[in-house]
Amino acid sequence: MHDELRSPIKHHLVLHRIDPRQGIQRFYSLLIERDLFGIVRLVRN
């Protein structure tokens, strides 16, 4: 089996949004992973 198919986690990205004028500080976490059935999923937090 290829490493691509075995690895449950492929990519993880964290984005930051900062706007001091409006007092906004937010972050978004995106994770691309393969579930137990081998389907690729995007998980957003």
Model confidence pLDDT, tens digit, residues 3-43: 555 555 667 889 999 999 999 999 999 988 888 888 888 88
Helices (H) and strands (E) in the chain, counts: 1, 3
Name beta bridge partners: 32.
11, 42
pTM of the model: 0.53
**Residue-level pLDDT at 32:** 86
Residue ranges in the chain assigned as alpha helix (H): 3-6
Longest dimension (CA), the chain: 51
What pLDDT does 6 receive? 59
Terminal Cα distance for the chain, rounded: 30
| CB-CB neighbours of 32 under 10 Å | 13
